[in-house]
Amino acid sequence: MLNDFPFYLIIVIVILLLIMLSNKIKVAYPVLLVLGGLAISFIPGIPLLRIDPELIFVIFLPPLLYEAAWNISWKELWRWRRIICSFAFLVVFFTALSVALVANHFIPGFTLALGFLLGGIVSPPDAVSAGAILKFVKVPRRLSSILEGESLLNDASSLIIFRFALIVVGTGQFIWQDAIASFGWMLVGGIGIGLGVGFVAMKLHKYLPTDANSDIVLSLVTPYLIYIAAEEVHSSGVLAVVSGGLLLSHYRLSFLSSSSRLRGVNVWESFCFILNGLIFMFIGLDLPEIVSGLGHVSLSSAIGYGLLITAVLIVSRILCAFCAVFVTLIARNFIKVADARHPGYKGPILIGWTGMRGVVSLAAALSIPVHLSEGIPFPQRNLILFITFVVILTTLLLQGLTLPYLINKFQIPDPDYTIPDDEVYHKIKRELVNHALNHLKNNYSAELERQPLLQQIAYKWEEQNGNTDDILMSGEAKVVYLNLLEHQRNWLLNRNKEEILDEEIIRKHLLYLDLEEEKMQFL
């Protein structure tokens, strides 16, 4: 390991260069990283990479899920909860069933149990790939919200299918009542443990004498504690991390200081940036190890099977997207839905085309045991690994490279946010300043009369829309100003309850208030 350390340093530098190139040519960086890993894997003398699935599940997955849960809009998640849950659970199950039937019929030696095992592996789309692509193109907020919400939950459902299929392959039997009880415990136990550990972490942040550095370290440890605690009792570690992350994100203003929030964002962005880069590079680098294990199956046949399963995944997802529209059009006659308007055909096609596979699929495939309990080699393990790799590579290249073209071609208008973001941002800013000025004049009139600095703040707010640069404050003025900042935060949180208001705009204003509070340390 120590001898290969310079190689891994070079890999990190290559990752940085490839991501810079992806930003330059506006191609999603997972695509370039996988291709870069493939190219490097063919260089003679390169160390053979063997990915430990536990390394991905325990080291990579918890922080990536936690960071995604921390950044998602709870308001949007709740608004689109029905379609998100249907894609995260029902669509995953339908996709796994489709893969199982096709694999059982067309791939020699594949039983239904092995087909479900493969289906559980390749059914969950990868959130990082879709997010990297959507960064370069403008899409309706509802589409990105649905994709983000789905990505938080579909890993859990796919891994549940994978676990049950693994048991059936190993034992040759499937007991319905045990499966239902186990499934229920994975869901309820995972969510409960995530909320419980998250609540304890929140109290530790709040009542221990922490500073920004210790808050950041504790936040880095938290997703690992949640994941390990849930897995130790055989519940869903993925759901646990997601539920704990959502809880802590929702209450972050109550237990983290402005300094901890500001510095934590930078640390987490850098941390997840390198984790994502390593994961996709490893996918490409692992090709020689996967190909070497094919054994008696010819390379051309294995590629054909991989392309067949990829086609099943794409068609299944597109069909499910149109089915979701059909169900919504029927359901709107009986219940209140998030949007009763007909979405047309473009939205379902885009949702169906965002099915790039990635890290979870690779980790699940690698975690298949080499031998069954009797010492018999696990059937079709190497072929499942290769098919998974083909699916990941094909979806990243085919869908990843064509999705921006489809988005630009369709030009789907955003039915929710018709006013430009900049205009909404400045409107909220003006309202926020006026609200703060009224609060200052109504509640701190005495301090305003005897504190010239507060008068200067009020003047700058009135004339420059809230800019307080170059103001030197006394102790009393700082106390009043900090109270005003807290009052503004509460006002923003109340405004955020409005359904048709992009939470990203509210978060930008909250970030500005954190920066204002941080400046108080230097005034």
What structural domains and CATH numbers belong to the chain?
Answer: 51-256+293-410 (1.20.1530.20), 421-522 (no CATH)
pLDDT value for 464 = 54
The gap from C-alpha 275 to its chain's centroid, in whole angstroms, comes to: 13
pLDDT value for 310 = 94
The gap from C-alpha 202 to its chain's centroid, in whole angstroms, comes to: 21
Alpha carbon distance 170, 173 (integer Å): 8
Tell me which amino acid residue 163 is: R
pLDDT value for 201 = 94
Concatenated DSSP letters of 210-239: --HHHHHHHHHHHHHHHHHHHHHTTS-HHH
pTM as predicted: 0.83
pLDDT value for 227 = 93
Using an 8 Å Cβ cutoff, are 93 and 157 in contact? yes
- The torsion angles phi and psi of 377, rounded to 5 degrees, stand at -55, 140
pLDDT value for 393 = 86
Using an 8 Å Cβ cutoff, are 61 and 227 in contact? yes
What is the token pair recorded at 141?
A: 């907020």
Strand-pairing partners, residue 377, are 371
What is the token pair recorded at 455?
A: 């008068």
What is the token pair recorded at 189?
A: 């136990």
Average pLDDT across each block of 10 residues of the chain; the chain has 523 residues. List them in order: 73 90 83 85 75 77 88 83 84 91 91 90 80 70 81 82 84 72 86 94 91 92 94 88 92 89 90 85 78 77 92 92 76 61 72 83 82 78 89 87 82 68 78 80 76 73 56 65 84 83 83 82 61
Could you give the angle at which helices 503-519 and 421-443 cross, rounded to 10 degrees?
50
pLDDT value for 369 = 83
Alpha carbon distance 260, 373 (integer Å): 49
Q: Where are the beta strands (DSSP E) in 247-367?
A: none
pLDDT value for 474 = 57
pLDDT value for 202 = 94
